[in-house]
Amino acid sequence: MCGLAVGILYARSSDRALHVDWRDRAFGSQQDNLFPQLLRVLDLPTTDTLPTSTSVLPEIWNGRLDLSLDELRSLDLEQRGITWSGDAPAWDRDDAIRRYSIDVTRFDLAEDVVVIWSGASMNELVTAQQRLGMIDSSMTADQMLGDVIRSSVRFVDEIEDRVADFRSGRFAERSVLGVHYRKTNEAAAARSLPTEKQYVRATDRALDQMPDDAVIFLATDNVMVQSLYQQRYGKNRIYWTEKWLPADGRSIHKNSDCPDGSLAAKDALMDVGLLASCDRLVLTGNSSFSSLAAWFARCPTSDRDLVFPESGSVPRRILRFLKRLAIQ
């Protein structure tokens, strides 16, 4: 989503149309572009058709625009004599940006097609726009990221309708607390997740500020969390969307057992939309999913509780950045 925001902002700054290609391993086949099934961009010329021009920058994409980034990188590494084991080679973001994405500070590029894929370029893009007087000098990259998503990105009608139907059929006029509780057994991720005690404490604290009949919408990737919340708060008070969840605690995305990646992506955005519509929020502070819900959220930042991992599990500089990102 951060890469999408950079693409939108760059396209506007350089007077270009936008093609968004979301083919990767996250939610399914690398042959299917999920973007048109999920989101739409406002107030900018867009096309769902893959460009065919041979005037492309970076040059490495010339004749290869039909490849996903994963496929292009694998091909590039093979040609450079770099080998790996497993599904994909070790990731080097800075090297990938240099090789597969343009310099976003250049708005006068002559090529017909320019490729951007990384949201990490937002700082450079905002600085370049400020230098040229295109935006206010007080604007931060974090603020710009949230502004672009809120003003320019919408769910497709199918997802909007699913969100509206779910709300009208379950919430009626009651206040709703939205909770994003991330829990995965993946070793690398588990070391950077808040604890059960933290989530429960944040949920209790939020409910204390709400009417007694307030209900909870729970967005989670783990069936054990669903059971925990039902036991603690009551079955009649907890709601979640029906979706496929891995039984073993693995993540939903990049999971080969997922029966329908496209549907899983739609289900994820439905959860984002429902969280964004809630009256108060308890969000996972170091989660891009929670950040997306916060960007779309209707409730004020004062009604959002960001739950971060215990001190020491994630570098403080990263936590500070994520907290700023989530409340924009």
Look up residue 317 and give its two tokens: 């500089």
Contact between residue 309 and residue 183 where contact means Cβ atoms under 8 Å apart: no
Alpha-carbon dihedral 263, 183, 283, 174, rounded to 10 degrees: 70
Of 327, 316, 306, the C-alpha closest to 201 is: 306
Report the relative pairing of strands 238-239 and 215-220 from DSSP bridges.
Answer: parallel
* Residue written as token pair 């971060």: 308
Alpha-carbon dihedral 229, 235, 239, 245, rounded to 10 degrees: 60
Q: Give the model's pLDDT for residue 24.
A: 65
Alpha-helix runs per DSSP H in the chain:
2-13, 35-38, 69-79, 93-100, 122-131, 141-152, 157-170, 187-190, 196-208, 223-233, 261-276, 288-296, 316-327
**Is the pLDDT score of 188 beyond 50?**
no
Contact between residue 11 and residue 72 where contact means Cβ atoms under 8 Å apart: no
3 state SS of 82: coil
Q: Could you report the per-residue pLDDT of 193-216, keeping only the tens digit for each?
A: 889 999 999 999 999 999 999 999
Q: Could you report the per-residue pLDDT of 88-141, keeping only the tens digit for each?
A: 677 788 889 999 999 999 999 999 999 998 888 899 999 999 999 999 999 998
Alpha-helix runs per DSSP H in 23-68:
35-38
What residue spans define the domains of the chain?
Answer: 2-155, 157-327
pTM of the model: 0.83
Domain 2-155 is found in CATH 2.40.128: no
**Is the pLDDT score of 314 beyond 60?**
no
pLDDT band at 294; cut points 50, 70, 90: very high
Q: Could you report the per-residue pLDDT of 37-64, keeping only the tens digit for each?
A: 999 999 899 998 889 999 999 999 999 9
pLDDT band at 146; cut points 50, 70, 90: confident
**More confident call, 265 vs 188:** 265
Contact between residue 288 and residue 1 where contact means Cβ atoms under 8 Å apart: yes
Q: Could you report the per-residue pLDDT of 1-23, keeping only the tens digit for each?
A: 889 999 999 999 999 999 999 87
The two domains 2-155 and 157-327 share their CATH topology (first three levels equal): yes
One-letter-per-residue 3-state SS of 204-249: HHHHHCCCCCCEEEEEECCHHHHHHHHHHHCHHHEECCCCCCCCCC
Look up residue 162 and give its two tokens: 């699913």
- Average pLDDT (276-283) is 96
**Is the pLDDT score of 315 beyond 50?**
no
Q: Give the model's pLDDT for residue 256.
A: 63
Q: Kindly report the CATH number that applies to the domain delimited by 157-327.
A: 3.40.50.11350
**Is the pLDDT score of 324 beyond 70?**
no
- Average pLDDT (52-80) is 92
Q: Give the model's pLDDT for residue 288.
A: 83
Q: Give the model's pLDDT for residue 185.
A: 63
* CA–CA dist 102, 217 (Å, integer): 41
**Is the pLDDT score of 187 beyond 50?**
no
Average per-residue pLDDT for the chain: 86
